[in-house]
């Protein structure tokens, strides 16, 4: 499996990232451990989490994902085999990107993760109430202290990310090497309107989230009636439009023609898109995970890429 580099960081990963929002939420500890074991067995290494995961779940308050992941890292003894990513700044308990909050939040994450460093630390959400210089200086200190190997920006506009890169260059601070925007076959504008070009121009890795549109692009949900009882129902309601159905029908048709699963085709499309380093993917069952990981072996013909591109135009 050919690896891809995260920006100029020198950190290489197999081209799928496990999204850890399910750990301690829709996957209990035992299931999470099984999924993580399988992910590494298949030759993958990058795992993404955040301090806020999964505060939205019933009976949860945040920190659960990092806690489960930390327990697995300790049990498995495979910290050196993992490219560990986490995010700070969105959790209501520790919200924002002030220098003081970043320091406190990172110490909490490291404790829950049971490690003394993370490979990539993301600003989870752009905080326009704090000067970029303050945020970047705080992140730079963490890099110099060896607590963080590389920095990332999640949910930043192309304009703000470009501004942050300029400040880092002018002041000799560690720069954002990775971006984490929303991007999938259905939700394209945010990335394609500027971030994709910036990623290529500035050699920034792009690890994209909602790669399967919260499950819409798996083909499991064909109508709103299929959402009953789903933990992801609130995330999925907005996809059942005329455009959404057009995309889904083309995805299903291409999948049938290639004897592949819809999720595999949707991820293969992402892997072939300019500027994308790796999609973030999640699963709560081993059979789902195995299916998703198979996407790296699928190369879409140019005609299929064109059809999928046009369906979402």
The average pLDDT across 183-205 equals: 97
In a domain, 175, yes or no: yes
Q: What are the φ/ψ torsions at residue 142 (nearest 5 degrees)?
A: -65, -40
**Residue 164 binned pLDDT confidence (cut-offs 50, 70, 90):** very high
Query: Cα Rg for the chain, rounded, in angstroms?
Result: 19
The number of folded domains in the chain is 1
Question: What is the token pair recorded at 166?
Answer: 């300029």
Clarify whether 176 is annotated catalytic.
Answer: no
Please give the Cα distance from 278 to 15 (Å, whole number): 5
Residue 312 lies in a domain: no
Residue 307 lies in a domain: no
Q: What is the pLDDT of residue 215?
A: 87
* pLDDT category of residue 35 using cuts at 50, 70 and 90: very high
Residue 120, domain extent: 4-219+262-301
Indicate whether 197 belongs to any domain.
yes
C-alpha distances in Å from residue 81, one per residue of 11, 35, 296, 311: 12, 15, 20, 39
What are the structure tokens assigned to 160, written together? 């703000």
Per-residue pLDDT of 50-75, as tens digits, reads 999 999 999 999 999 999 999 999 99
**pLDDT band, very low/low/confident/very high, at 34 (cuts 50, 70, 90):** very high
- Is 228 part of a structural domain of the chain? no
pTM of structure: 0.95
Residue 132: per-residue pLDDT: 98
Q: Is residue 40 part of a domain?
A: yes
The active-site residue out of 53, 176, 209, 239 is 53
Are the C-beta atoms of 46 and 83 separated by less than 8 Å?
yes
- pLDDT tens for each residue of 197-214: 999 999 999 999 999 998
CATH of the domain at 196: 3.20.20.100
Residue 239 domain flag: no
C-alpha distances in Å from residue 197, one per residue of 158, 180, 200: 9, 14, 5
Q: Look at residue 233 in the predicted model and tell me its pLDDT.
A: 67
pLDDT exceeds cutoff 80 at 231? no
In a domain, 234, yes or no: no
Each residue of 255-290: pLDDT tens digit? 999 999 999 999 999 999 999 999 999 999 999 999
The closest alpha carbon to 52, from 130, 138, 204, 154, belongs to 154
Under the phi-then-psi rule, with left for phi > 0, alpha for psi from -120 to 50, and beta for the rest, what region is 75? alpha
């Amino acid at each position: 499996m050919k690896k891809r580099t995260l920006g100029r960081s020198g950190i290489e990963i197999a081209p799928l990232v496990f999204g850890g929002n399910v750990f301690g939420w829709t996957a209990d500890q035992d299931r999470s451990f099984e999924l993580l074991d399988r992910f590494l067995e298949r030759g993958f290494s990058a795992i993404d989490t955040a301090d806020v995961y999964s505060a939205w779940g019933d009976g949860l308050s945040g920190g659960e994902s990092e806690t489960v992941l930390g327990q697995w890292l300790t049990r498995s003894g495979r910290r050196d085999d993992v490219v560990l990513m986490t995010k700070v700044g969105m959790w209501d308990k520790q919200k924002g990107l002030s220098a003081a909050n970043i320091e406190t939040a990172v110490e909490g994450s490291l404790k829950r993760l049971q490690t003394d460093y993370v490979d990539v630390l993301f600003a989870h959400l752009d905080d326009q109430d704090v000067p970029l210089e303050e945020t970047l200086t705080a992140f730079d200190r963490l890099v110099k202290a060896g607590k963080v190997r590389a920095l990332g920006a999640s949910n930043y506009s192309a304009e703000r990310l470009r501004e942050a890169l300029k400040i880092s260059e002018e002041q000799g601070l560690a720069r954002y090497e990775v971006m984490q925007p929303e991007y999938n076959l259905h939700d394209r504008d945010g990335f394609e309107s500027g971030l994709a070009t910036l990623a290529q121009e500035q050699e920034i890795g792009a690890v994209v989230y909602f790669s399967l549109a919260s499950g819409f692009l798996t083909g499991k949900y064909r109508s709103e009636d299929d959402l009953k009882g789903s933990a992801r129902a609130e995330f999925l309601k907005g996809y059942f439009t005329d455009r959404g159905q057009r995309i889904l029908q083309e995805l299903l048709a291409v999948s049938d023609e290639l004897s592949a699963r819809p999720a595999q085709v949707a991820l293969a499309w992402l892997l072939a898109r300019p500027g994308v380093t790796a999609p973030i993917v999640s699963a709560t069952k081993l059979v789902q995970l195995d299916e998703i990981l198979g996407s790296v072996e699928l190369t879409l013909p140019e005609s299929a890429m064109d059809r999928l591109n046009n369906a979402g135009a």
